[in-house]
Structure 1
Amino acid sequence: MIVDPDEFPIMRRWPPRRPQAIQLYTLNTPNGAKASIMLEECGLDYDAHRIDIGEAADQLTPEFMSLNPNHKIPAIIDPDGPGGRPMGLWESGAILLYLAGKTSRFLPADGAARWQTVQWLMFQMGGVGPMMGQLGFFHAYKGREIEDKRPRDRYAAETRRLLGVLDRQLAGREWITGDYSIADIATAPWVNNLLTKYDAGALVRFDEFGAVSAWLDRFMARPAVQRGMQVGAA
């Protein structure tokens, strides 16, 4: 179905190149990477539109906020949504769950395995992302100018605790819940960002988390991950 720009005003600012494809509004941040990696892993056709959240502040424009009133990336429009109707969706975890349901991939269909996967997705959404993001602010960005290092150290300690939880879960497992899933797709971009953009590996003594390190290497070696990580880059 062709999406009506009157229904989704964001399309006036970022016109679809292929109107039949899923429209992705993103940047190559950890949250943005979740959506693009999932789209690549599922083999879904999509158009990517780069949303500059820096000086341009694209996320604060009326057009972007018409799709996501919380003005965060990523967001999508699926022309072939539920019932064949176009649907917009935001929040990276919701997008992962939606695409998993649409394709029947990377999330067990039912039973305990399904809810264990959702549980670890929530672990990322409620813990890994917020805590590592705060650590990044205080260690790598404007917060590093604050002389009092107690805020940074608080988030470093919590990040270490979360890495310990993840390391114990990954002991003897290839992926977080056994099979590769949206739990891995949600979590690994944040751990990668901790080491690359935040340069916080030494601060949190990342070399002590061998199972997490091996898991991250497996994740980053996947071709779909490598493609997805580049989406939204400058």
Structure 2
Amino acid sequence: MRMTLYHGEPNGPSLAVLAALFAKEVQAELVRIDLESGERHTLLTDSVFIACYLDDVGPGAALRPADPYGRWETMHWCRQMTERTAPAAAYLGCWAHPPKADAALLERIGSVDLRARWQQIAAGKFSADHLTDSRTKIHQATEKIEARLDGRQWLMGRFSIADIETYAWLAGMVRLVPAAFAAKPRTTAWLERVRTSPAVAQALALSRTGEPAASWSVGPEINRWG
């Protein structure tokens, strides 16, 4: 089966999926789309589930533990990242680096909620409460990572989907919420290990802007706040 992977700048979910693809040595046609303008394709979505699919079909080293508990732990970690950290990171990223949405494309977005959030961001309408809550969630994420890395190099013991997904959402937060990363030496060292890992480095090399961490589009749905 011929695989086509649609992606934007290597940041957030695009980075996560590209890194998983390269780590698993899966052959695919890479098609770049303009996520910042609202362009979409909808065959198989959600970076964590795509990464799991690639882990199943690719010949490269496993990106999930072999034991059932380890797999549950990995998915539980990724769920926290995608449901709490990802909306916060995307909101802050769009606030700091507003995407240039294409009005015609936005009108074709089927989800009323998603279209409304795109329109709000395009209009520069950001809630002070959501910005504060977002920063709090980034602090919570880095505290969790710092504790998790006590005595280990990678979040699940070896390089995994958890490292890829977590890095993909937090790499762009170092400049936007620097206090969250201060006095966290294990997290700082881990960020560098992930950044320089072969698969992530290969994904980052696809950047056309030279600053992929500044490329953002609307994140997971707003009803995940809280």
In the superposition, the TM-score normalised over structure 1's length comes to 0.70
Q: Is the Cα–Cα contact under 8 Å of residues 25 and 49 in structure 1 kept in the other structure?
A: yes
Give the Cα–Cα distance (whole angstroms) in 1 for the partners of residues 79 and 196 of structure 2. 24
Which structure has the higher relative contact order (CA within 8 Å, separation 6+)?
2
- Of 185, 192, 195, the match for 2:171: 192
Q: Is the Cα–Cα contact under 8 Å of residues 86 and 169 in structure 2 kept in the other structure?
A: yes
Give the Cα–Cα distance (whole angstroms) in 2 for the partners of residues 89 and 102 of structure 1. 15
Gap runs ≥5 in structure 2: 99-120, 210-226
SS of the residue 2:31 aligns to: strand
The RMSD of aligned alpha carbons is 2.5
For 2:39, the equivalent position in structure 1 comes to: 58
SS of the residue 2:182 aligns to: helix
Q: Which amino acid aligns with 1:54?
A: E
1:81-120 aligned within 5 A: 88-103=43-58, 105-120=62-77
Q: Which amino acid aligns with 1:227?
A: Q
Report which of the two has the higher share of strand.
Answer: 1
For 1:16, the equivalent position in structure 2 comes to: none
1:142-221 aligned within 5 A: 149-195=128-174, 199-202=175-178, 204-221=179-196
Mark the structure with the bigger radius of gyration.
1
- Aligned length in residues: 184
SS of the residue 2:44 aligns to: strand
- Of 121, 129, 141, the match for 2:78: 121
Q: Is the Cα–Cα contact under 8 Å of residues 6 and 31 in structure 2 kept in the other structure?
A: yes
Please list the CA deviations of residues 148-185 of structure 1 after superposition, one character each: whole Å capped at 9, or x if unmatched. Answer: 74432221122111211121111221001111111111
What is the deviation of 1:214?
Answer: 0.8
SS of the residue 1:227 aligns to: helix
